[in-house]
Structure 1
Amino acid sequence: MGKVTSNRALGEDFYLMRVEEENNARMGQFYMLRAWETYPVLSRPISVYDADKESVSFLYKVVGKGTELLCQLKEGDEITLDGAHGNGFPSLADKKRIALVGGGVGIAPLYLAAKTYKKENPDCTVNIYLGFSGKTVLTEEFDAVCDKLVVNVGGFVTDDIDPTAYDAIVTCGPTIMMKVLYSKCVKCQAAAPLYVSMENRMACGIGACLVCSCRTANGNRKVCKDGPVFLGSEVFGIE
């Protein structure tokens, strides 16, 4: 059980919530959040936006009953945190040029990723590409943790990136966006591996219920336990 220390509205139904909770969360992982007793039945999987040993932050968007209840939490309220779950993003300490590409609420895990990659290798270049359909959020915060920030509003953020300019690419967002980015990497024969964070619907968060199963080159995998991060070729290269 954690204690909410802030839950700030950012606009366009985006919220940034910070919870006081001892943790060992890593970039790309997620928690199952719950701030109600019986309804909705399921907890909500939310990516880790930022974390230290004493607190963890979540960037989320109100899209249903569960997130509607989350946005009503105030400072001092208690919330159940189950996690951190998932494999998270891989270490890229040996890479010199890294691109992080996010769309919509999929931008959430990229903040901690940028901070972690710069900490792993202070000499690496980390560029962030963010796509929004409407109002932008947290662009100053993202700009502060990368070497270059590219923001696309109302268009296709995948148009802004040259995959051949990087040694590794990490992405999270709508499936169609990540598919387009994968196809672009293949078309231009980019050498950089593409890591995708899948956002399948989840129920348990621990691999027991199979709700989040996805088809991959290695058979059906559980996004919550085997992922949420996979190589792009593993999930998109089989079609």
Structure 2
Amino acid sequence: MAVILSNSLVSAGIFKMTVAFTGDVKPGQFFMLRAWDKDPLLSRPISVHNYEAGQLTFLYQVVGKGTEILARLQADDEVTIQGPYGNGFPEITGDLCVVGGGIGTAPLYYLLRHYRDQNPTGKCRVYLGFRDIDYGVEAFAALADEVVLDVGGIITDKLSVIPSETVVTCGPEIMMAAVASAVPTENTVYVSLEAHMACGIGACLGCTCETRSGNKKVCKDGPVFLREEVFNV
């Protein structure tokens, strides 16, 4: 159980929850959250939006019964969290370019903050795409050298990558596939996949995905993969 410190509406259908937590958490990892007994059956996998000074933050979208229950929780309520799970993003020492779409922008903020802590003079550019309303842009702008924003269009149409950059992307699969195709092969590209999960530890095989080296589990082998493992490029 974790005590909720805050749980507030950020934008239409988007909530930010902060809970008390102590442990090691890497950017790109996720937790399984649950605040109910039997219905719905499964916990909800939610990526880490930020972790700092004993405060673990999740940015999530209300899309069903489970997240509707989470959105009703208030400060001092308790929520069951299991994790952190997943391999997370690798350490990046060169220049960084992140491309996020919708709620897929959530784990990219912690990546960017961690990158800036480790590389205070490194260059980081950010591309953020949203369908209707943007959110969280100011937080990215406070850390990045450049932020390119698109609302209602196609963010990958604006994407221009510098040869020295490592690219990290998270968002709708069609967007990540477009990033994987658009970025030159000389650049390293990491993609963070989403999948329905039951256990979060690779036991149930419910989040199996096809990769170049055979079937792998998004929760345990991922959610972060090299682009060439999961997309035909």
Query: Shorter-chain-normalised TM-score: which range?
Result: over 0.9
- In structure 2, the residue matched to 1:68 is 68
What residue identity is the alignment partner of 1:207? G
Q: Which SS does the other structure have where 2:117 is aligned?
A: helix
Give the superposition deviation at 1:23: 2.3
Any conservation in 2 of the 1:197–1:228 contact (CA below 8 Å)? Answer: yes
2:160 partner letter: D
* Alignment of 1:225 onto 2:220: yes
Letter in 1 for 2:221: D
> RMSD between aligned alpha carbons?
1.1
Q: Is the 8 A contact 2:16 2:57 kept in 1?
A: yes
Q: Which residue is equivalent to 1:212?
A: 207
Equivalent positions of 1:129-168 (< 5 A) are 129-168=127-166
Deviation at 1:52, TM superposition (A): 2.1
Letter in 1 for 2:195: N
Q: Return 5+ residue gaps in structure 2 as ranges.
A: none
SS in structure 1 opposite 2:72?
coil
Within the candidate set 103, 126, 136, 1:128 is matched to 126
Give the distance between the partners of 1:83 and 1:48, measured in 2 at CA: 10
Q: SS at 1:162's partner residue?
A: coil
Shift of 1:163: 2.4
Other-structure match for 1:91: 91
CA distance in 1, matches of 2:12, 2:129: 14
Structure 1: stretches of 5+ with no match in the other structure: none
Once the 2 structures are TM-superposed, how far is the Cα of residue 53 of structure 1 from its aligned partner?
Answer: 4.6
Residue aligning to 1:237: 232
Residue aligning to 2:172: 174
Aligned residues between the structures: 233
Find the aligned partners of 1:166 and 1:43 in 2 and give their Cα distance.
Answer: 40
Q: CA deviation at 1:77?
A: 0.3
Identify the residue that residue 31 of structure 2 maps to in structure 1. Answer: 31
- Following superposition, the deviation at residue 166 of structure 1 comes to 4.2
Give the AA of the match of 2:232.
G
Q: Which amino acid aligns with 1:15?
A: F
Q: Distance in 1 between matches of 2:120 and 2:60?
A: 29
> Letter of the aligned partner of 2:127 in structure 1?
Y
Partner of 1:43: 43
User: Quick check: 193-202 or 120-129, which moved more?
Assistant: 120-129
- Percent sequence identity over aligned pairs: 46
Tell me if structure 2 keeps the 8 A contact 1:105–1:173.
Answer: yes
Q: How far 1:195 sits from its partner (Å)? A: 0.1
Q: SS state of the match for residue 163, structure 1? A: coil
Contact 1:129 1:149 in 2 (8 A): yes
1:147 is displaced (CA, Å) by: 1.3
